[in-house]
C-alpha cells in the first residue's frame, strides 16, 4: 500500500526490502547511516538488512528512553557523522520508535544544513504519529519536544511485523494517537477504532487502521504544514498530555507518551463538553473506553500547581494565553480555545474524582 502526499511517500507493506531498494535507488546516497537504539538494533536491524542491502552502512546507536531524547544525544550523533565523513548527499535511516525518528529527523535536517533521511518506524506510535508529518526535535529543560524543526523524510516505510516485538503498553501507546485521529475526523472512524480488539491484534486489519490513521493525519498536515492553523487539530489531548508526561518524567512512575495523551484527551473532552457543547454521554462512552485500556493516572492535589506550570510553558501557547484544541462533536474541531488557570484546575479536580 502506498500513501502519497506532497512531502513524503509512505509505504505500508510486508516487503520492506522492495521499498527500501526502491528508495535507495531514488536517493543514490554517497554514504548511508542508520540510527538505532539497543532494542531496534537487536530486533529490527536484521529484518531490514535480510538481503544485505545495508552491509556497508554505518550504524549509530543511542540509548533508549525519554531521558536520552536530549541535546547530548544530538551532539553525540553529530560528532559521529562528522568523524565518519557524512556530507550533504549522505542518507540517515531512522530505525526505531518515536524518539529515534524525532531525534534522527532533527539531526539530519541540521547537520551541514540538512541531508536526506527516511523513517522506518518500529512502534505503533511512531508509525501513526512521529514518522509522518514532519515534526522533529528533542526535549529540553524537562519540556517535551521543546527544540525542533519542521522537516519531512524522503520516505516512510511501515511494516506491522515490527509490532510483534512490542509489549502491550507500547502497542497501547500508539493506539492512543489512533483514537485521537478518529475523534478528530468522524464518528464512523471512532466506531471503527472502538470495535477493533486491540487486546488481541489482527495484524492484517491493523495495517488498514494504520493506513487510515496516517491518511487522517495527512489531511491536516497537507492543509497546514507549519501548524499555523488547522494542523493544531492534531494537538488534541496533548496540552494536558504533555504536562502529564513531563510530570512523571524521570520518576519511578514514568509513563509512555500515548498513555499521557489518552488521559489528556479525557481532560480535554471534559473541557470540550464545558466550553464547546460536546455531548456528555458520548464523552462518558469515550472516557470509559480509555480508562478500561489505560487505567487512571495517580494525580494528587499536590500535583496541580506543577501540571499548571507545565501547561503554561507549552509551546502551543501564544501571548500568555493557554490554548487548547477542543471538539464540539466528532470531526468538528475548535482550535485556539483559550482556557483560564481556574478552568484547568477545575478539570484536574474533576479528573481526580473519576472512578
pLDDT at 15: 84
Instruction: Note if 238 is an active site residue.
Output: yes
Instruction: Note if 242 is an active site residue.
Output: yes
**Does residue 159 sit in the same domain as residue 199?**
no
Instruction: Note if 231 is an active site residue.
Output: yes
Q: DSSP secondary-structure letter at 318?
A: B
Annotated catalytic residue within 66, 177, 245, 268: 177
Give the count of domains, the chain.
2
Q: Is 70 exceeded by the pLDDT of residue 260?
A: yes
What distance in Å separates the CA atoms of residue 308 and residue 320, rounded to the nearest whole number? 13
Instruction: Note if 113 is an active site residue.
Output: yes
Tell me what the mean pLDDT of segment 70-75 comes to: 97
Annotated catalytic residue within 41, 69, 212, 238: 238
Instruction: Note if 313 is an active site residue.
Output: no
**Does residue 237 sit in the same domain as residue 129?**
no
Contact 67, 79 (CB under 8 A): no
**Does residue 96 sit in the same domain as residue 238?**
no
pLDDT at 60: 98
Rounded percentage of the chain residues whose pLDDT exceeds 70: 98
Q: Long-range contacts made by residues 54-59, C-beta under 8 angstroms, separation at least 24?
A: 54/93, 56/32, 57/32, 57/33, 57/93, 58/31, 58/32, 58/33, 58/34, 58/84, 59/33, 59/34
pLDDT at 295: 93
Annotated catalytic residue within 180, 181, 242, 334: 242
Instruction: Note if 58 is an active site residue.
Output: no
Q: Is 60 exceeded by the pLDDT of residue 282?
A: yes
Instruction: Note if 217 is an active site residue.
Output: yes
CATH number where 138 lies? 3.40.50.1970
**Does residue 109 sit in the same domain as residue 257?**
no
Tell me what the mean pLDDT of segment 295-307 comes to: 94
> Which one of 110, 145, 165 terminates a domain?
165
Q: Is 70 exceeded by the pLDDT of residue 320?
A: no
> Which one of 105, 132, 165 terminates a domain?
165
Do you know the residue count of the chain? 355
**Does residue 177 sit in the same domain as residue 289?**
yes
**Does residue 7 sit in the same domain as residue 64?**
yes
pLDDT at 200: 82
Instruction: Note if 227 is an active site residue.
Output: yes
Annotated catalytic residue within 217, 232, 263, 316: 217
Residue 97 has a CB neighbour count (10 Å cut-off) of 29
- Which of 49-53, 58-62, 173-177, 187-191 comes out lowest in average pLDDT? 49-53
- Pairing status of strand 143-147 against strand 138-140: antiparallel
Confidence of residue 170 (pLDDT cuts 50, 70, 90): very high
pLDDT at 321: 72
Helix (H) or strand (E) holding 344, with range, is helix 341-352
CA atoms within 13 A on the CB side of 74: 22
**Does residue 158 sit in the same domain as residue 200?**
no
Confidence of residue 230 (pLDDT cuts 50, 70, 90): very high
Q: Is 90 exceeded by the pLDDT of residue 148?
A: yes
Tell me what the mean pLDDT of segment 222-245 comes to: 94
**Does residue 58 sit in the same domain as residue 154?**
yes
Domain with 102 in it: 2-165
Rounded percentage of the chain residues whose pLDDT exceeds 90: 78
Tell me what the mean pLDDT of segment 255-265 comes to: 96
pLDDT at 6: 80
64, 66, 69, 73: CA torsion to nearest 10 = -40
**Does residue 177 sit in the same domain as residue 161?**
no
Annotated catalytic residue within 69, 152, 212, 257: 257
CATH number where 225 lies? 1.20.1090.10
**Does residue 240 sit in the same domain as residue 122?**
no
Q: Which residues of 279-317 are buried (b: 16+ CB within 10 A; e: fewer)?
A: eeebbeebbeebeebbeebebeeebbeebbebbebbebe
**Does residue 176 sit in the same domain as residue 115?**
no
Find, among 348, 251, 257, 335, the residue nearest to 301 by Cα. 348
Annotated catalytic residue within 69, 135, 144, 212: 135
Annotated catalytic residue within 227, 245, 268, 282: 227
What distance in Å separates the CA atoms of residue 209 and residue 195, rounded to the nearest whole number? 12
Annotated catalytic residue within 41, 69, 152, 231: 231
Annotated catalytic residue within 25, 113, 204, 355: 113
Q: Is 60 exceeded by the pLDDT of residue 315?
A: no
> Which one of 165, 186, 204 terminates a domain?
165
Q: Which three cell numbers stand for residue 98?
A: 518515536
> Average pLDDT of the chain?
93
Instruction: Note if 219 is an active site residue.
Output: no
pLDDT at 95: 97
pLDDT at 232: 95
**Does residue 348 sit in the same domain as residue 230?**
yes
pLDDT at 318: 60
Confidence of residue 106 (pLDDT cuts 50, 70, 90): very high
Amino acid at each position: 500500500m502506498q500513501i502519497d502526499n506532497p512531502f513524503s511517500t509512505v509505504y505500508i507493506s510486508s516487503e520492506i526490502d522492495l521499498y527500501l531498494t526502491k528508495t535507495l535507488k531514488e536517493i543514490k546516497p554517497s554514504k548511508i547511516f542508520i540510527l538505532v537504539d539497543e532494542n531496534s538494533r537487536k530486533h529490527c536491524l536484521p529484518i531490514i538488512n535480510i538481503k544485505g542491502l545495508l552491509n556497508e552502512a554505518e550504524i549509530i546507536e543511542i540509548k533508549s528512553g525519554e531521558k536520552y531524547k536530549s541535546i547530548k544525544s544530538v551532539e553525540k550523533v553529530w560528532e559521529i557523522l562528522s568523524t565518519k565523513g557524512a556530507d550533504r548527499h549522505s542518507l540517515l535511516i531512522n530505525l526505531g520508535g518515536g524518539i529515534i525518528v524525532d531525534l534522527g529527523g532533527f539531526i539530519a535536517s541540521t547537520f551541514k544544513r540538512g541531508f536526506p533521511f527516511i523513517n522506518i518506524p518500529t512502534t505503533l506510535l511512531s508509525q501513526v504519529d512521529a514518522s509522518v508529518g514532519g515534526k522533529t526535535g528533542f526535549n529540553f529543560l524537562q519540556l517535551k519536544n521543546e527544540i525542533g524543526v519542521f522537516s519531512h523524510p524522503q520516505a516512510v516505510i511501515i511494516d506491522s511485523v515490527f509490532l510483534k516485538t512490542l509489549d502491550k503498553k507500547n502497542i497501547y501507546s500508539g493506539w492512543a494517537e489512533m483514537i485521537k485521529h478518529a475523534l478528530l475526523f468522524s464518528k464512523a472512524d471512532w466506531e471503527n477504532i472502538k470495535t477493533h480488539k486491540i487486546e488481541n491484534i489482527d495484524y492484517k486489519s491493523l495495517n488498514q487502521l494504520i493506513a487510515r490513521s496516517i491518511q487522517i493525519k495527512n489531511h491536516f498536515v497537507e492543509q497546514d504544514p507549519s501548524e499555523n492553523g488547522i494542523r493544531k487539530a492534531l494537538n488534541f489531548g496533548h496540552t494536558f498530555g504533555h504536562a502529564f508526561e513531563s510530570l512523571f518524567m524521570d520518576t519511578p512512575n514514568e509513563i509512555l507518551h500515548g498513555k499521557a495523551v489518552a488521559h489528556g484527551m479525557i481532560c480535554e473532552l471534559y473541557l470540550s463538553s464545558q466550553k464547546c457543547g460536546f455531548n456528555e454521554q458520548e464523552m462518558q462512552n469515550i472516557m470509559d473506553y480509555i480508562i478500561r485500556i489505560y487505567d487512571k493516572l495517580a494525580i494528587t492535589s499536590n500535583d496541580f500547581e506543577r501540571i499548571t506550570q507545565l501547561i503554561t510553558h507549552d509551546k502551543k501557547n501564544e501571548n500568555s494565553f493557554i490554548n487548547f484544541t477542543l471538539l464540539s462533536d466528532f470531526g468538528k474541531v475548535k482550535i485556539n480555545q483559550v482556557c483560564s488557570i481556574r478552568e484547568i484546575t477545575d478539570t484536574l479536580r474533576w479528573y481526580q474524582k473519576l472512578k
